[in-house]
Amino acid sequence: MPHASKAPAERTAVPRHVAIIMDGNGRWARQRGLPRIEGHRRGVETVRTVTFAARDLGVKMLTLYAFSAENWNRPKDEVGALMGLLELYLRKELRTFVRDRVRLMTIGRTEDLPAGVRRHLAATVEATKAFTDYTLVLALNYGSRTEAADAARGYAAAVCSGSQKLDDASWEAFARHLYTSGMPDPDLVIRTSGETRVSNFLLLQAAYAEFFFTPVLWPDFTKADLAAAIADYARRERRYGLTSEQVNPAAAAE
Ligand code: FPP
């Protein structure tokens, strides 16, 4: 059974779903002799800019790795400051998202976030759930391995209850239990700050994604940087395990 998650015919120059590992806030601050939290504060400004830049460039879904399951291990005051920034951001953005028709969704174990953050998240997700043109997904308390463990539990429960047959195991059946159920896979994954790791981010969903690494630190990342990443993506040939000739028969015949 062929297993390509997307037919080559669906290829477009603009990635439908862009996912970003926002990295470099701390280094941005250190370079300026500022506390790390200043880097995060500037990082939130970039989140605002990039959210609308992506839509302007034709992207339909943007996923931002805002807080990983491992980030709890940072110094307590930094975790507290990040949660404070997140709550402030959500409080400010609700009206903007409603006005500009941005749907907000989350992936991750959001139930472990502080009550204030959860309240604002729930209100924003609910208030924007009818919008269909553009979606911002915040990965919060997210990690691919915890996601896989949670999905395995959901899948096992479905088998136990009889709604899923053990012998019908398939990627599609399993993926219904991931946090990303119903979302398209990312086409392009960007990481800022010069690091070239995936850091437990969308490991299963990015199976066929293109990766783009840039040395730009997240607080300095601009619409032009995003456009450059998308232009680079447009030049690539996504083959999904096929040959170049299969994917692009017209060019092969020339
Ligand atoms: C990595 O920079 C970034 C994070 C751990 C969190 C990203 C968070 C934000 C941009 C702000 C909050 C987000 C929202 C959506 C309100 P780093 O601190 O690891 O940088 P470093 O590697 O240079 O130290």
CA dihedral 192, 195, 200, 205 (to 10 degrees): 60
Confidence of residue 6 (pLDDT cuts 50, 70, 90): very low
pLDDT tens digits for 110-134? 999 999 999 999 999 999 999 999 9
- pLDDT class for 73, splitting at 50, 70, 90? very high
Burial 220-241 (b: 16+ CB within 10 A, else e): ebeeebbeebbeebeeeebebe
Atom of ligand 1 minimally distant from the CA of 64: 15
pLDDT at 122: 98
Distance 29 CA to ligand 1 centre (A): 11
Centre of ligand 1 to C-alpha 195, Å, is 13
pLDDT of the residue at 241: 87
- Domain ranges within the chain, ordered by starting residue: 17-145+181-253
Average pLDDT of 36-58? Answer: 98
At 247 the pLDDT is: 85
**Over the range 108-144, which residues count as b (16 or more CB within 10 Å of their CB) and which as e?**
bbbeebeeebbebbeebbeebeeeeebbbbbbbbbbb
Per-residue confidence band for 254, with pLDDT thresholds at 50, 70 and 90: low
Q: Is 23 a catalytic residue?
A: yes
Catalytic residue among 23, 185, 187, 225: 23
Domain boundaries 17-145+181-253, CATH class: alpha beta
- Give the Å distance between the CA of 238 and the centre of ligand 1: 30
Q: What pLDDT band is residue 244 in, cutting at 50, 70 and 90? A: confident
Three-state SS across the chain? Answer: CCCCCCCHHHCCCCCCEEEEECCCHHHHHHHCCCCHHHHHHHHHHHHHHHHHHHHHCCCCEEEEEEEEHHHHHCCHHHHHHHHHHHHHHHHHHHHHHHHHCCEEEEECCHHHCCHHHHHHHHHHHHHCCCCCCCEEEEEEEECHHHHHHHHHHHHHHHHHHCCCCHHHCCHHHHHCCCCCCCCCCCCEEEECCCCCCCCCCCCCCCCCCEEEECCCCHHHCCHHHHHHHHHHHHCCCCCCCCCHHHHCHHHHHC
pLDDT at position 3, please?
46
Q: Is the pLDDT assigned to residue 92 strictly greater than 50?
A: yes
5 pLDDT higher than 80: no
Residues 39-43, mean pLDDT to the nearest whole number:
98
Residue list, ligand 1 pocket, CB within 6 Å:
22-27, 40, 43-44, 47, 64, 66, 71, 82, 85-86, 89, 138, 193, 218
Q: 5-14, 27-36, 168-177, 240-249: lowest mean pLDDT where?
A: 5-14
**Distance of CA 240 from the midpoint of ligand 1 (Å):** 32
Share of the chain above pLDDT 90, in %: 88
Mean pLDDT score of the chain: 94
Query: What's the confidence (pLDDT) of residue 15?
Result: 98
